[in-house]
Amino acid sequence: MISVHRAGVRFYFDRHMKVVTRGASRLRSHGTTKWGVRGVSFESLGGEGIALIGPSGSGKTTMLRLLARVYWPDEGQVAVRGRVASLLSIDAGLLSLLTGRENAMLLGVLGGLSRRASRRALESVKDHSRLGDAFEQPVSTYSQGMRARLGFAVAEETEPQILLLDEVHEALDHEFRAVVAEHARRLVEAGGVVVVSGHDHQMLERLCTRALHLDKGAVRNDGPFKPVQQAYLAAVQAASEASPTW
């Protein structure tokens, strides 16, 4: 279902350290480049939840965007087979000036549903997101949790085989976290893959049996969740003891 072989994503910067496209980097002199992730390899045949753990800036979000095909690999290969649903940004992919209903319609179509299917799914999205009357209000009036709920409800409608979550679930209230966990469990049981990143390890453990420890854009450890998590926490502890305290 997911096969990542020595994949790398490179970012181009201009001399003011602003990220630019590769084409723009050719127009501007004195630019630099940096790899977000490099040499990353792992596979999943399905039926598992994979947690991406690591410090901020370790490449978790870049890895998820690579799997969502939001980023293209600059080297190596990434093969993802199956319908993908993703919640990769704090605004959950929603356009703030549009209402919940309008966003649900747009994201449904962009997510692969026909217009008719997307329109038919609107009431179900409204119910599942539990937004009530707020569904008809512009998303700019929503809290982060409401946005994540709407984004998740739309993602559910596309019946994904691969679900990618980047810290967004951490904005959810406990009740909706349980809904996400239940959905992820059902997806994994049906042979799908859930890939989740975040710093809430309790939540990650509920969703995942496997973990990838990312550090400086590379995979440091890959295996069952608990041992990888403990090795990561031990590394963090060792690093904080080695560095001077405040």
Chain positions contacting another protein, by CB under 8 A: 11-12, 19-24, 27, 65, 68-72, 84, 86-89, 91-99, 102, 105-107, 109-111, 115, 118, 151
Q: How far is the CB of 174 from another protein (least distance, A)?
A: 24
User: How far is Cα 243 from Cα 201, in angstroms, rounded to an integer?
Assistant: 24
Residue type, 57: G
Q: How far is CA 64 from the centre of its chain?
A: 5
- In the numeric block, which tokens belong to residue 71? 């980023």
Comparing CB distances to another protein, the nearer of 71 and 225 is 71
Cβ(164)–Cβ(82) under 8 Å? no
Comparing CB distances to another protein, the nearer of 23 and 244 is 23
Comparing CB distances to another protein, the nearer of 48 and 91 is 91
User: How far is Cα 95 from Cα 107, in angstroms, rounded to an integer?
Assistant: 10
Q: How far is the CB of 36 from another protein (least distance, A)?
A: 8
Q: How far is the CB of 126 from another protein (least distance, A)?
A: 18
User: How far is Cα 176 from Cα 146, in angstroms, rounded to an integer?
Assistant: 10
Start-to-end Cα distance in the chain: 46
Q: How far is the CB of 13 from another protein (least distance, A)?
A: 10
Comparing CB distances to another protein, the nearer of 165 and 211 is 165
Length of the chain, in residues: 246
Comparing CB distances to another protein, the nearer of 69 and 81 is 69
Q: Return the closest-CA partner of residue 131 out of 73, 173, 188, 184.
A: 173
Q: How far is the CB of 209 from another protein (least distance, A)?
A: 26
CA trace torsion 58, 59, 61, 63 (10° rounding): -150
Q: How far is the CB of 61 from another protein (least distance, A)?
A: 9
Cβ(149)–Cβ(160) under 8 Å? no
